């Protein structure tokens, strides 16, 4: 009986500790299916905290345990990476009051480093809230699933209005068809409020896609190397096509080579312009590791136009379907 009581007491202590670690939570449904939930540790706003900021400092977005995001039934594509269904850790990295980044990675740990397997680094515009009634005494996080035409946006900030200045990339001149697709595409917004500061991160929602293949033996290898590519099937294909045709790099997904202890993982960034290429960025490798050469590809015009960004693999050849062109890469 005493052992049972001790077990029950220990279980209660663990449950209370978990509840204390995640004092705040918020969840919502994703447009097009699935759900998302975020949990963070409670932290009170104090001006002294801002005085401790230094370039490169990474914050676990709360106190205690690492802030966790749980995705179900959908994948999200950020400006510089992809987050697939499952659970991940979010941190905010500070560079200046008008320049923050959201870093998503796998490990359940608050301390981020280059050695961790991070799979998204997304810009997070930050500005000062102008209405006193909306100032917060502690960290608040809100998630919203919205169509593209209903996306929020940072307020216009003029020179001299304060130290927080919003710098956004220049708008892309999309065609009417691409704008219509973007307006209908599902998005997820994560809004952070802390004192009089507001941060906003936006992700385009899609579905996870996967293709498997194998590479013939090379060098000292005696067997084929298994290959797996994962990507996000975003619906706004025309806008992706127009970005690629203007030479803009577009995030694609992940490449896994090998199995078990020999497995290596890469983040793939699709390079546009006249000569298509895939840029491989090491995941989970040592800090400062050199990137491998880009994978050069070729364009093949096709008659059909897919309704979603897709891909397929036959042996070691990866074909990316993007609107009216196929892009073929030998991995």
In whole angstroms, give the CA distance from residue 70 to residue 25: 11
239 secondary structure, DSSP code: H
Q: Is 160 helix (H, G, I), strand (E, B) or coil?
A: coil
In whole angstroms, give the CA distance from residue 99 to residue 297: 34
Contact 122, 78 (CB under 8 A): yes
2 part of a folded domain: no
pLDDT score for 191: 93
Same domain, yes or no: 295 and 160: no
pLDDT score for 2: 45
Same domain, yes or no: 52 and 140: yes
Same domain, yes or no: 113 and 191: yes
In whole angstroms, give the CA distance from residue 235 to residue 213: 25
- Quick one: which H or E segment has residue 14? helix 2-21
Same domain, yes or no: 137 and 92: yes
Reported in sequence order, the residue ranges of 154-294 that DSSP labels E, i.e. its strands, are 186-194, 197-215, 225-233, 250-257, 264-271, 277-282
Q: How many independent structural domains does the chain possess?
A: 2
Same domain, yes or no: 234 and 119: no
pLDDT score for 3: 45
Same domain, yes or no: 144 and 86: yes
Q: Which of 76, 98, 91 is nearest to 30 (CA)?
A: 76
138 secondary structure, DSSP code: B
Q: Is 244 helix (H, G, I), strand (E, B) or coil?
A: helix
78 part of a folded domain: yes
85 part of a folded domain: yes
In whole angstroms, give the CA distance from residue 293 to residue 300: 22
- Quick one: which H or E segment has residue 219? none
pLDDT score for 19: 45
Q: Is the pTM of this model over 0.85?
A: no
Same domain, yes or no: 197 and 214: no
Token digits of residue 317: 């050849």
DSSP secondary structure letters along 53-76: --TT-EE-SSSSSPEEEEEES-EE
| Domain final residue, candidates 181, 205, 229 | 205
Q: Is 20 helix (H, G, I), strand (E, B) or coil?
A: helix
DSSP secondary structure letters along 118-137: EEEEEEE-EEE---GGG--S
162 part of a folded domain: yes
pLDDT tens, per residue, the chain with 331 residues: 444 334 434 433 334 344 446 678 999 988 777 889 999 988 888 888 888 889 988 888 887 777 899 988 778 776 567 888 888 888 899 988 878 888 887 765 545 455 556 667 788 888 888 777 788 999 999 999 988 889 887 776 544 444 445 455 566 788 999 899 888 888 999 999 999 899 999 888 888 889 999 998 877 677 899 999 998 888 888 888 888 888 778 888 889 999 888 888 888 888 877 789 998 887 765 555 677 889 999 998 888 888 888 899 998 999 999 888 899 999 9
Phi, psi torsion values for 61, nearest 5 degrees = 60, 60
In whole angstroms, give the CA distance from residue 72 to residue 59: 25
In whole angstroms, give the CA distance from residue 64 to residue 139: 13
Same domain, yes or no: 94 and 222: no
pLDDT score for 112: 47
Residues spanned by the domain of 62: 22-205
Same domain, yes or no: 177 and 255: no
pLDDT score for 297: 94
67 part of a folded domain: yes
Same domain, yes or no: 36 and 103: yes
Contact 88, 116 (CB under 8 A): no
| Domain final residue, candidates 178, 205, 232 | 205
Residue 141: how many CB atoms within 10 A of its CB?
21
7 part of a folded domain: no
| Domain final residue, candidates 149, 180, 205 | 205
Which residue matches tokens 């917004």?
189
Contact 170, 177 (CB under 8 A): no
13 part of a folded domain: no
Token digits of residue 113: 């480093």
Which residue matches tokens 């490798």?
285
Same domain, yes or no: 144 and 238: no
1 part of a folded domain: no
Same domain, yes or no: 136 and 274: no
> How far, rounded to the nearest angstrom, does the alpha carbon of residue 307 sit from its chain's CA centroid?
23
């Amino acid at each position: 009986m005493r052992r049972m009581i001790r077990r029950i007491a220990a279980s209660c202590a663990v449950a209370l500790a978990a509840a204390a670690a995640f004092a705040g939570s918020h969840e919502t449904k994703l447009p097009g299916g699935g759900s998302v939930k975020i949990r963070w540790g409670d932290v009170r706003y104090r001006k002294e905290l801002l005085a401790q900021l230094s370039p490169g400092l990474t914050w676990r977005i709360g106190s205690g345990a690492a802030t966790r995001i749980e995705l179900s039934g959908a994948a999200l594509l950020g400006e510089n990476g992809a987050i697939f269904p499952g659970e991940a850790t979010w941190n905010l990295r500070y560079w200046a009051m008008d320049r923050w980044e959201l870093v998503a990675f796998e490990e359940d740990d608050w301390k981020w480093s280059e050695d961790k397997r991070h799979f998204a680094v997304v810009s997070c515009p930050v500005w000062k809230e102008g209405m006193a009634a909306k100032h917060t005494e502690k960290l608040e996080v809100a998630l919203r699933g919205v169509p593209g035409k209903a996306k929020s946006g940072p307020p216009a900030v003029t020179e001299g209005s304060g130290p927080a200045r919003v710098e956004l990339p220049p708008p892309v001149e999309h065609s009417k068809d691409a704008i219509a697709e973007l307006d209908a595409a599902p998005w997820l917004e994560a809004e952070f409020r802390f004192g009089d500061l507001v941060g906003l991160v936006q992700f385009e929602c899609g579905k996870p896609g996967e293709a498997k293949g194998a590479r013939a033996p090379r060098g000292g290898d005696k067997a084929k190397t298994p290959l797996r590519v994962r990507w996000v099937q975003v619906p706004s294909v025309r806008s992706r096509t127009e970005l690629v045709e203007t030479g803009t790099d577009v995030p694609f997904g992940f490449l896994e080579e090998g199995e078990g202890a020999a497995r290596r993982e890469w983040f793939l960034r699709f390079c546009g312009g006249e000569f298509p290429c895939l840029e491989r960025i090491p995941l989970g490798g040592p800090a400062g590791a050199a990137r491998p050469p880009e994978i050069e590809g070729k364009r093949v015009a096709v008659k059909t136009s897919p309704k979603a960004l897709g891909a397929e693999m036959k042996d070691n050849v990866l074909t990316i379907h993007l609107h009216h062109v196929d892009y073929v890469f030998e991995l």
